[in-house]
Amino acid sequence: MSMDLIINIDGGSRGNPGPGAAAWVIKDKAGKPLLKEGLFMPLCTNNQAEFTALKMALAAAVRLGAKRLEIYSDSQLLVRQYGGQYKIKNPDLRLIMDDIKKLAAAFAAVNLKHVPRGQNKEADLMCNITMDNTLKKKPAAATSVAPAPPKKPSQPELFALPE
């Protein structure tokens, strides 16, 4: 029996770059939640968080034994770069996309679609919960006025909601 999954992903950064998170919500074809997770990223851009959300969702779908994926994102840039309509000029994003493409090759089908932000509320909520809960337990770090863009997300923390 093959498993089809429905996945919503989101990423965000407070400061762009700044502390951020990637999040994914995975459901079976009937809409039953299977997994709600977020990954805290101490320093990232919005786009790095969005790309990381897709990468982590694909890795989770591999672990769940999925065959076909229907993935929804409110990042038009991510969807168009994944589909090849836009070139990926940023080298950090290109590296993440290389990982995404390798993971996507494990599935019979991966359909990534753009949806309006209002249709991606669960993933957005998971993203904000991940940032809020992680930032609450850490003292605020001093930030410079113009931080340099990060080379790679550093020391991410995985956060999962109990079912």
- 3-138+150-160 in CATH: which number? 3.30.420.10
Residue ranges of domains in the chain:
3-138+150-160
Q: Are the CB atoms for 9 and 38 separated by under 8 Å? A: no
Residues 71 and 114: their CA atoms lie apart, in Å, by: 9
Closest CA to 44 of 146, 156, 159, 158: 156
Residue 3's pLDDT is: 87
Residues 156 and 163: their CA atoms lie apart, in Å, by: 22
Residue 60's pLDDT is: 96
Closest CA to 108 of 45, 149, 61, 155: 61
Run means of pLDDT, 10 residues per run, the chain, 163 residues: 88 94 96 94 96 97 96 97 96 96 97 97 95 76 41 53 54
Q: Which residues contact 105 (CB under 8 A, 6 or more apart)?
A: none
